[in-house]
Amino acid sequence: VGLAAAAKAAGKKYFGSATDNPELTDTAYVAGLSNVNDFMQITPGNSMKWDATEPSRGTFTFSGGDAVASLAQKNGQLLRGHNCVWHNQLPNWVTAGNFDNATLQSIVTTHCSTVYVATRINYILYSYSWDVVNEPFNDDGTWRDDVFHTTIGDGYVALALKAARAADPAAKLYINDYNIENTGAKATAMLNLAKSLLAQGAPLDGIGFQCHFIVGSVPTSFQSVLEQFTALGLEVAITELDIRMTLPSTPALLAQQKTDYQNVIAACNNVKGCIGVTIWDYTDKYSWVPSTFSGQGAACPWDENLVKKPAYDGIVAGFFS
Ligand code: G3I
């Protein structure tokens, strides 16, 4: 049973993977990614971000994002758009522009509506959902002090959601973040934001839980946090799952990683409103982890040679738990 087949059997909409444009020249990798038995959804890891799509004001480049959208279309896979408004991977003209509130609001509106579509018909047809706002909070639950919050205030989130809804009425609109998978200040901040947006009538459909975890210490209150959000009528999704370890990997670490993957998937499986799972690339060959966390890696369910690890069976077991 493949990962997507298991997810489907469990009543989920998809199991999927992030990918990135440089990897699409690797034919063995693309063959694995295109196996719809494992992956019924893909997310562009970088090519729909602001620096890639609007490198200078009003000039939009869609070639990278289009390549990922075309692959999804060819394979019959869903697309998760990622992302519209984020503090990171912003071009300098946004961060250093010193725009006043009204101007930055107009920039955000234009960016979100255009990235969503304009003439990008394939995004409209294949986007299941979009991470409209990514990582709005610090780990202590305070607002991140980025250019959007500093200039526009809390209202930038509703503004971005409304622009996205106007551009693509069919896509599910998400806020996506990490370290909200356990109860605590950051999860509470996200819950309060979600409540406030819903009370205002802002077009929010879902919350994405990134789930960048560490072997042996996956969150224990994940399922109850998911339930707090679905109780508001929102859907939830695991959007960037990986579970890293200190290298080198050993049979014991790989066995623990299998258990960890199974437990994370089981938490989603137990919550009806948890609609899908995306891993942040499927192979260690292209994982973001080693370049960010020195000495750590082996976070994905396939190894660097595209061979399945025990984690693969852990994921399947999670969907049958
Ligand atoms: O595009 C340049 C290239 O021109 C240059 O030669 C090269 C040299 O380092 O860098 C390239 O940019 C890199 C970019 O990925 C594209 O490959 C950046 O250095 C690198 O920092 C960037 O990393 C990405 C990271 O987001 C940036 O924050 C990862 O690939 C991407 O997987 C990661 O994804 C994020 C999610 O969007 C949000 N959640 C966390 C997740 C992991 O950090």
Per-residue pLDDT of 249-282, as tens digits, reads 999 999 999 999 999 999 999 999 999 999 999 9
Residue 117: pLDDT above 90? no
Residue 316 has a pLDDT of 98
Residue 169 has a pLDDT of 87
Angle at which helix 185-200 crosses helix 222-230, to 10 degrees, equals 10
Which tens digit of pLDDT belongs to each residue from 212-241? 999 999 999 999 999 999 999 999 999 999
The pLDDT mean for the chain works out to 96
DSSP 293: S
CB of 46 shorter than 6 A to ligand 1? yes
For the chain, percent of residues with pLDDT exceeding 70: 97
Q: What is the whole-number distance in angstroms between the Cα of residue 288 and the centre of ligand 1?
A: 8
ipTM of the complex: 0.94
Q: Which atom of ligand 1 is nearest to the CA of 88?
A: 28
Q: Where are the alpha helices (DSSP H) in the chain?
A: 3-9, 27-33, 50-53, 63-75, 92-95, 101-116, 121-126, 147-152, 156-167, 185-200, 222-230, 251-269, 289-292, 310-319
- The better pLDDT of the pair 127, 202 is held by 202
Pocket probe for ligand 1: among 281, 288, 289, the residue whose CB has the most ligand atoms within 8 Å is 288
Between the alpha carbon of residue 93 and those of residues 54, 85, 110, the distances in Å are 10, 14, 15
Which tens digit of pLDDT belongs to each residue from 47-92? 999 999 999 999 999 999 999 999 999 999 999 999 999 999 999 9
- DSSP string for 109-163: HHHHHHHHTTT-HHHHHHEEEEEEEE--B-TTSSBP--HHHHHH-TTHHHHHHHH
Q: 142: how many CB neighbours lie within 10 A of its CB?
A: 12
Q: What is the whole-number distance in angstroms between the Cα of residue 47 and the centre of ligand 1?
A: 10
Residue 19: pLDDT above 80? yes
Q: What is the whole-number distance in angstroms between the Cα of residue 46 and the centre of ligand 1?
A: 6
Please give the structure tokens belonging to residue 289.
Answer: 């982890």
Q: What is the whole-number distance in angstroms between the Cα of residue 320 and the centre of ligand 1?
A: 34
Confidence of residue 12 (pLDDT cuts 50, 70, 90): very high
CB 75 within 8 A of CB 114: no
Residue ID of nearest Cα to ligand 1 atom 38:
134
296 residue type, one letter: Q
CB of 88 shorter than 6 A to ligand 1? yes
Residue ID of nearest Cα to ligand 1 atom 14:
46
**Which phi and psi (to 5°) does residue 254 adopt?**
-65, -35
CB of 240 shorter than 6 A to ligand 1? yes
Residue 41 has a pLDDT of 97
Residue 122: pLDDT above 80? no
- Mean pLDDT calculated for residue range 302-319: 98
Pocket probe for ligand 1: among 89, 214, 242, 243, the residue whose CB has the most ligand atoms within 8 Å is 89
CB 99 within 8 A of CB 107: yes
Q: What is the whole-number distance in angstroms between the Cα of residue 45 and the centre of ligand 1?
A: 8
Q: What is the whole-number distance in angstroms between the Cα of residue 18 and the centre of ligand 1?
A: 13
Residue 124 has a pLDDT of 67
Pocket probe for ligand 1: among 20, 43, 46, the residue whose CB has the most ligand atoms within 8 Å is 46
Give catalytic residues, as residue numbers: 240
CB of 288 shorter than 6 A to ligand 1? yes
